[in-house]
Amino acid sequence: MNLNPHISVDCVIFGFSEGTLKVLLIEREKEKGLQVGGHKLKLPGSLISEQEDLDTSAIRTLTELTGLKNIFLKQYSVFGDPGRLKPMEDLEWLCRTSGMKVDRVVTVAYYSLIKISDSVITDKTIWHPVDKLPELIFDHNHIVMEALLNLRNEFHTKPLCFELLPKKFTLRQLQDIFESILNIKLDSRNFRKKIRKLDYLTELPEKEKNVNHKPAKLYKFDRRRYEKKETPLI
Amino acid sequence: MNLNPHISVDCVIFGFSEGTLKVLLIEREKEKGLQVGGHKLKLPGSLISEQEDLDTSAIRTLTELTGLKNIFLKQYSVFGDPGRLKPMEDLEWLCRTSGMKVDRVVTVAYYSLIKISDSVITDKTIWHPVDKLPELIFDHNHIVMEALLNLRNEFHTKPLCFELLPKKFTLRQLQDIFESILNIKLDSRNFRKKIRKLDYLTELPEKEKNVNHKPAKLYKFDRRRYEKKETPLI
DNA sequence: TCAAAAGTGTTCTGCGTACACCCATGG
DNA sequence: CCATGGGTGTACGCAGAACACTTTTGA
CB-closest option in B6, B50, B77 to A7: B6
Domain housing B117: 3-157
Chain A positions touching chain B (beta carbons under 8 Å): 4, 6-7, 48, 50-54, 75, 77-78, 80-82, 104, 106, 108
State the total domains in chain B: 2
Residue A36: pLDDT band (50, 70, 90) is: very low
Shared domain check, A214 and A130? no
Residue nearest to nucleotide C17 (CA to C1'): B190
Residue A151 sits in the same domain as residue A167 = no
Domain assignment present for residue A48? The answer is: yes
Strand D nucleotides in reach of protein CB atoms, 7 A cut-off? 3-10, 15-20, 23-27
Asked if the structure places residue B233 within a domain, the reply is no
DSSP B216: P
- In chain A, what residues touch B52 (CB-CB under 8 Å)? 82
The answer to whether residue B234 sits within a structural domain is no
| Beta carbons of B13 and B114 less than 8 angstroms apart | yes
* Residues A177 and A108 occupy one common structural domain: no
A180 shares its domain with A149: no
**What is the distance between the alpha carbons of residues A199 and A226, in angstroms, rounded to a whole number?**
8
**B106-115 and B3-17 strand pairing:** parallel
Taking the model in full, what pTM does it have?
A: 0.88
pLDDT along chain B (234 residues), means of 10: 92 88 85 54 94 96 92 96 91 88 94 83 87 93 96 86 92 93 92 91 93 95 81 62
Closest-CA residue to B164 (of B34, B13, B5, B9): B13
Q: Measure Cα distances from B218 to A127, B11, B180, B213, B234 in Å.
A: 57, 33, 21, 15, 20
DSSP category for residue A110:
E
The CATH number given to whatever domain includes residue A143 is 3.90.79.10
Q: B53, A106: Cβ pair inside 8 Å? A: no
Same domain, B213 and B175: yes
The per-residue pLDDT of chain A, averaged, comes to 89
On whether residue A233 sits in a domain, the answer given is no
Q: Could A54 and B7 be called an inter-chain contact, meaning their C-beta atoms sit closer than 8 Å? A: no
Which pLDDT tens digit goes with each residue over A184-218?
999 999 999 999 888 899 999 999 998 999 999 99
Same-domain status, A147 and A214 = no
